[in-house]
Structure 1
Amino acid sequence: MSAPSLDGLLPGLRAAIIANTAIANLHGLFNGEPSVHTRRPIPADAVAPSTVIGPIAALLDGDGLSDYRPTVSIDISTYGEQSKDLRTVDSIAEKIRLLFHRQPQALTVNLYKVVMIRARGPVPAPVDDDTDVGRRVTLTIDLFAQP
């Protein structure tokens, strides 16, 4: 069986985060929307706090006799300025964890059924200097290819 594309995963995660107003309203703005991104680096003109999703860190193939069941690991990292955004960054990361942990209905991925989501973290995320702060939540997502 040919594996369906996972192209809908990052946009699906972004849509879920933005749809949650308790999370979206804590973000700065980029082009009039919450500063939630699906690629690195975050645009220079994005206002902090900002969240970046992905890329996919690991992809494990779980196949049945006639179906495809991948498990995907992906990081969601939130960044801001240490002096003014620390508590907000912590709050965003914790809310992201709660949004997804054991909540498969929180995510929609084209061509797949979301079976389970497990979240780890938040933990400190790497930053470039002492003026920034980051928190990372790692999601492990079990998917089932829709027939």
Structure 2
Amino acid sequence: MKRVIVRVWRALRPVQWRLLWFTRAKFMVGVTGVVRDAEGRVLLVKHRFWSEGRQWGLPGGYAKKAETFENTLVREVREETGLEIRVRSLLFLKSGYRLRAEVGFEAELTGGTMSTDSFEILEAGWFPPDDLPEGLQEPHRLLINGPHEACT
């Protein structure tokens, strides 16, 4: 029986991806970045659409089709703040949500001039890790202080 299944699967090679697409779960992927400047400060943005009192957080957004997660973070930071970054390393990858997965990266400032997207972002700023604003999302605070704390 296994040999028959293997033959059928191999015969379906031209349409395998389409079959998998229809039979597998679909997820959005949220990408977040802990962006630091040369002084070690962290870039935070105040999101217009997040809950009152919990609007401060790390920059990020959802990946587009065929976009690498690193490129998603570069694009989102540029759109939200006008800044240019270099993605350094993966901090976390979390699944288990119903419709999304979350990816977090460490990144560094490489250039640009701060100018916020006034539709989505109320304000943005650089904060020392030991002096973060009130209203910062707790998972983001944990991620800034070390991914080991955010992933437990």
Query: Do both proteins adopt the same fold according to a TM-score greater than 0.5, normalized to the shorter chain?
Result: no
Q: Name the larger-Rg structure.
A: 2
TM-score normalised by length of structure 2: 0.28
Q: Which has the higher helix share?
A: 2
